Amino acid sequence: MYRVFRVVINSFAFVMLAILGVVTLQFNLPLGVLLLLSTIDQLEDVYYYVYGKRLMPKSLMPLDVVFELVLAFVGMGMFITSLIYYQYFPTWFFKALLPLSFLIVYSAVEDVVEWFKPSVAPSVAVAPTTPLTVSHYVCLKEEVREEEGFRFIRRKH
């Protein structure tokens, strides 16, 4: 369920960054290119949550952190914009931007934190150091009863 939630949030962030990047390309080329590169990063995050594999190697981690920070700033801008225009536009879009922008910022920060999390080495099954003891219960002949071909043991409780 959590992975589905992250896929939906990162997909929404991808769409918002793509729209913002295309619009920004007209008047600020470097910022537009940075936003469009951030959209590629969001697709990479969606791929990670769907398939469990990273497309970016560890050597490109600083670049991914920059793209996630761009997403966090866009999310904060969406949050501030939705707060400013909340009472002026009573449509569902501005009402939905408030929680969605918070979730986008949370997603970006969590992705940055996940890069810096220590990696856990896969555990190897190790034989126990102490031998397991196996015991069984031996019953007396009078404790065994038979019914139509079946043998039952009366247990003491």
7 burial class (0-12, 13-18, 19+ CB within 10 angstroms)? middle
Q: What is the pLDDT of residue 134?
A: 57
Print pLDDT tens along the chain (157 aa): 788 888 888 888 888 888 888 988 888 898 888 888 888 888 888 888 888 888 888 888 888 888 888 889 988 988 888 888 888 877 887 778 888 888 888 888 888 888 787 766 555 555 556 655 655 556 565 555 555 555 555 566 5
Q: Cβ(38)–Cβ(56) under 8 Å?
A: no
DSSP readout, 4-56?
HHHHHHHHHHHHHHHHHHHHHHTT-HHHHHHHHHHHHHHHHHHHHHHHS--SS
Whole-prediction pTM: 0.65
Q: What is the pLDDT of residue 92?
A: 81
**What one-letter code names the amino acid at 28?**
N
Backbone phi and psi for residue 130, each to the nearest 5 degrees, phi listed first: -100, 135
